[in-house]
Amino acid sequence: MSKKYQMDPITTREAFGNAMFRVAQRDKMVAAVSADTPKSLGFGKMMEAYPERALNCGIAEQNMMALAAGMAAEGYLTFAASYGTFTCMRALEQFRTFVAYPNLNVKVAGGMAGLSGGVEGVTHQSIEDIGIMRTIPNCVVAVPADAASTEVITEALAKHYGPAYIRLGRGKSATVFDENYHFELGKANLLGDGADVTIICCGSTVRRCIDAREQLARRGIHARLLEMPCIKPLDEEAVLKAARETGAIVTAEENTIIGGLGGAVAELLGEKCPTVMKRCGVPDVFAESGELDDLMDVYGLSVADIMEAAASLAEGGRGAAAC
């Protein structure tokens, strides 16, 4: 990554744990279940203060999900957390059938998600998790950009009844927001307006998209920038408004371009407002091992990649979509 960013003091995993602990302090009917990752997923405070409500199932993610479902069926708001590949793949049947089908109040966190688990290799790279989880009925899918937004989103989802998936990274994130961050379920955040092209981003790509927008402005291209922290439900109104007013859409996500944010936006536009668009993200490949910043650059998520994708559409002079 060519530019050095100010980094958060804590990881998104720690931020998730802090928010979960605050929720548990306020309500004795809050429980947490881990699959041999209590320290890694920020369960430390919870396990020390409320050991009777914080359980470690060991390396048994399917059991973790089934236990979380059982506790939720008994009235607990239950947090379940492990690495993204294991919560969304190994335990998918249990989440789908035991949690989502009966619409139980379980919040699942997937750590080391996307390319952030790159140093561990492909087994820990959950570049498919957004697409997988957004296909499950009743399930909210949230992708925070940094530590501050993670805490706000976690507490907000704790107030929303039903299954949810919260995507977390591995290391510290580039700082984007502060404690005043605004989150509303199913709503995008407008980070900058423009009429030439719209960039829609989530998670670790937000900071890079802010930079890309600034560089586009120097070229006379004025981009609208939408942060989409909630992939499901998607803010359809914001996407359609952007399509009508700017006529071109670029999506950026630390995920495969198949089925994730780009897929959700493309599905919506295809049905309601056909608009030219480009998806920045991991193509249809298994990623290599490496550090997150390096892998993002390799797989088309550098500031230059995002900027050029937007510029190529804006400079085409397509105008607003007729829808």
Give the model confidence (pLDDT) of 86-141 as tens digits: 999 999 999 999 999 999 999 999 999 999 988 888 999 999 999 999 999 999 99
Q: In the prediction, which pLDDT does 318 show?
A: 63
DSSP 50-74: -GGGEEE--S-HHHHHHHHHHHHHT
pTM equals 0.96
Closest CA to 232 of 148, 157, 309, 317: 157
DSSP structure class, residue 40: T
- Please check the confidence at residue 322 and state whether its pLDDT lies above 80: no
- Please check the confidence at residue 20 and state whether its pLDDT lies above 50: yes
- Interstrand relation of 230-232 and 140-142 (parallel, antiparallel or unpaired): antiparallel
Taking residues 38-54, report their average pLDDT.
93
Peptide bond into 233 cis (omega under 30): yes
Contact indicator for 147, 10 with CB cutoff of 8 Å: yes
Q: In the prediction, which pLDDT does 319 show?
A: 61
Contact indicator for 93, 277 with CB cutoff of 8 Å: no
Q: In the prediction, which pLDDT does 151 show?
A: 98
HEC per residue, 272-320: HCCCEEEEEEECCCCCCCCCHHHHHHHCCCCHHHHHHHHHHHHCCCCCC
Residues, the chain: 323
Q: What's the one-letter identity of residue 211? A: D
pLDDT for 182-196, tens place per residue?
999 999 999 999 999
Q: In the prediction, which pLDDT does 144 show?
A: 99
pLDDT for 256-315, tens place per residue?
999 999 999 999 999 999 999 999 999 999 999 999 999 999 999 999 999 999 999 998
Q: In the prediction, which pLDDT does 4 show?
A: 72
Q: In the prediction, which pLDDT does 72 show?
A: 99
pLDDT for 140-196, tens place per residue?
999 999 999 999 999 999 999 999 999 999 999 999 999 999 999 999 999 999 999
- Please check the confidence at residue 3 and state whether its pLDDT lies above 70: no
Contact indicator for 128, 254 with CB cutoff of 8 Å: no
Domains and CATH numbers, the chain: 9-174 (3.40.50.970), 189-314 (3.40.50.920)
128-to-122, 246, 283 alpha-carbon distances in Å: 11, 29, 11
Q: In the prediction, which pLDDT does 316 show?
A: 79
* 16 vs 120, more confident: 16
Measured CA to CA, the distance from residue 7 to residue 5 in angstroms comes to 6
| Token code pair at residue 6 | 């100010």
- Tell me what the pLDDT averaged over the chain comes to: 96
Q: What's the one-letter identity of residue 41? A: L
Q: What's the one-letter identity of residue 255? A: N
Contact indicator for 185, 160 with CB cutoff of 8 Å: yes
Q: In the prediction, which pLDDT does 1 show?
A: 44
